[in-house]
Amino acid sequence: MKILLTLLRKEFRQIFRDKAILKLIFLMPTIQLLILPFAADSEIKNINVGIIDNDHSSYSRQLVEKMEYSSYFDLKEYSNSYKEGLKWLENNSVDLFIEIPANFESKLVRENYSPVFMAVNATNGVKGNLGAAYVMNTIADLNKNIIAEWVMPPSTNMSPQIDITHSHWYNPHSNYQKFMVPGILAILLTLVGSFLSALNIVREKEIGTIEQLNVTPILKSHFILGKLIPFWVLGYGILTIGLAISYIIHGIVPSSNIGVLFIFAGVYLIAVMGLGLLISNFSETQQQAMMISFFFMMVFIMLSGLFTSIESMPRWAQIVAWINPVTYMVDVMRMVLLKGAQLTDMLFHFKAIIAEAFFLNILAIWSYSKRN
């Protein structure tokens, strides 16, 4: 016990003496939670459009006006040559353009049908798809107006219609920040729990101090606990700071018992610290540890449901996602902070993370050796 305390005191001394790391530990969550949720917004606005109007009729003008007044579009270019339109796409001055053919109005009046051409830059698939959908909506809207204008609608609607109304639960205003903040908090916990602890252990290897420790009679368990407990405490510190920031800045009030979140985070930290220890066992230098961490971090972020929902991933990716411990933390964060979930709702998550904690730590302790 005395030896463990000595190890802990030494560890905390070193952490608090390393001003750069200390700043990083507390600035990182602050800055990330302040900036990222505002920037990482998946709603697409400001689509740049160009219009080629070969008709110059009253209907074509109506269409142009409709596009102009939409909040989604920025009318950037206007011309009457198709070739120029392609140039706009090439030099990225527009994301999409529509071409209204010369006989647009007359054809519409005479044949009740008139085509409009649209070209979309689909380099960014999401933006391209959404932009095209917005344009179609706008044109459909115009179409409805024209029909209303030509055919007097009957005073009573003859055909039965189902009207759908909806309300957003758990995040009533579909606020993207409320969705992102809990997720980012989970990622921050992962960073501190696994990667900082991995780097810390590898640093001892790199400087050679681990050699000096290995010839002392300290137990493997003491060494490992002495390394992991400080980062466990730091993890809790970050979680508290993060929750405070999300309350103050983003107005997120936990909608159920926050104690459950803290208990879960405790187990989660143990799991990711096991991963950190594992990484440190397989790297000799801090660079190596960094690169391995980076690899894991990318997989973790992409396959955790942080940005994209797991349900829409292919089957194999879903399996990876449900092995990924970060998935559970992100999910629990959102469940507690937004959904108001109770302990009983999260039993599966608890079981899974406890299993992962056991698995990762046993693997890590097994592969850690005081000699080679």
Partner 1 sequence: MNSIEINNVSKFFGKKKEIVALEQVNLNVPKGNLFGLIGPDGAGKTTLFRILTTLMLADTGTAKVLGYDVVKDYKKIRQIVGYMPGKFSLYQDLSVYENLSFFATLFNTSIKENYNLIKDIYVQLEPFKNRKAGALSGGMKQKLALCCTLVHKPEILFLDEPTTGVDAVSRREFWEMLKRLNKEGITIFVSTPYMDEATMCDNIALIQNAHILSINSPEGLMDSYPDTLWGLKSEKMYPLLLDLEKNPNVQSVFTFGDEHHVKMKQGKGEDDLKMWLSQSGHQEVEMKIIKPTVEDCFLDLLNERKKVKA
Concatenating the DSSP letter of every residue in 321-352 gives HHH-HHHHHHHHHHIIIII---GGGGHHHHHH
Q: How far is the CB of 196 from partner 1 (least distance, A)?
A: 16
Tokens, residue 171: 């995040």
24 binds partner 1 (CB under 8 A): no
Stretch that binds partner 1, among 32-40, 54-62, 216-224, 269-277 (CB under 8 A): 216-224
Closest CA to 338 of 168, 166, 189: 168
Report if residue 23 touches partner 1, rule: CB under 8 A: no
Closest-CA residue to 64 (of 56, 86, 128): 56
Distance CA 128, CA 96 (A): 8
215 sits near partner 1 (criterion: CB under 8 A): yes
Q: Quick check: 2 binds partner 1 (CB under 8 A)?
A: yes
216 binds partner 1 (CB under 8 A): yes
What distance in Å separates the CA atoms of residue 128 and residue 119, rounded to the nearest whole number?
10
Pairing assessment for the beta strands 47-53 and 96-100 based on DSSP bridges: parallel
**Quick check: 56 binds partner 1 (CB under 8 A)?**
no
Q: Does 1 bind partner 1 (CB under 8 A)?
A: no
Question: By rule CB under 8 A, what string of x and - marks binding of each residue 353-372 to partner 1?
Answer: -----------------xxx
Shortest Cβ distance from residue 94 to partner 1 (Å)? 56
- Judged by CB under 8 A, does residue 19 bind partner 1? no
DSSP state at residue 102: T
**Binding of residue 3 to partner 1 (CB under 8 A):** yes
Q: Is 10 in the site for partner 1 (CB under 8 A)?
A: yes
Q: How far is the CB of 286 from partner 1 (least distance, A)?
A: 15
Q: How far is the CB of 126 from partner 1 (least distance, A)?
A: 48
Residue with tokens 């596009």: 67
Interface with partner 1, residue 302, by CB under 8 A: no
323 to 184, 227, 300, 370: CA distances (angstroms): 19, 25, 10, 30
**Selection from 193, 195, 186 nearest residue 293 by Cα:** 195
**CB-wise, 216 or 285, nearer to partner 1?**
216
Interaction of residue 229 with partner 1, rule CB under 8 A: no
Q: Which stretch binds partner 1 (CB under 8 A): 12-20, 69-77, 236-244, 273-281?
A: 12-20
Q: Which is nearer to partner 1, 124 or 216 (CB)?
A: 216
Q: Which is nearer to partner 1, 23 or 144 (CB)?
A: 23
Buried b (16+ CB within 10 A) or exposed e, 141-163: ebeeeeeeeeeeeeeeeeeeeee
Residue nearer to partner 1 on the CB measure, 20 or 151: 20
Pick the closer one to partner 1 by CB: 25 or 353: 25
Parallel, antiparallel or unpaired: strands 117-120 and 96-100: antiparallel
Task: Report 174-213 residues binding partner 1 (CB under 8 A).
Answer: 207-209, 211-213
d(CA 310, CA 282): 30
Q: Does residue number 218 form part of the binding site for partner 1 (CB under 8 A)?
A: yes
**What's the CA dihedral at 323, 351, 243, 183 to 10 degrees?**
20
- Which of 70, 79, 103, 214 is the binder for partner 1 (CB under 8 A)? 214
The residue type at 365: I
* Chain residues in the site for partner 1 (CB under 8 A): 2-3, 6-7, 10, 13-14, 17-18, 207-209, 211-218, 370-372
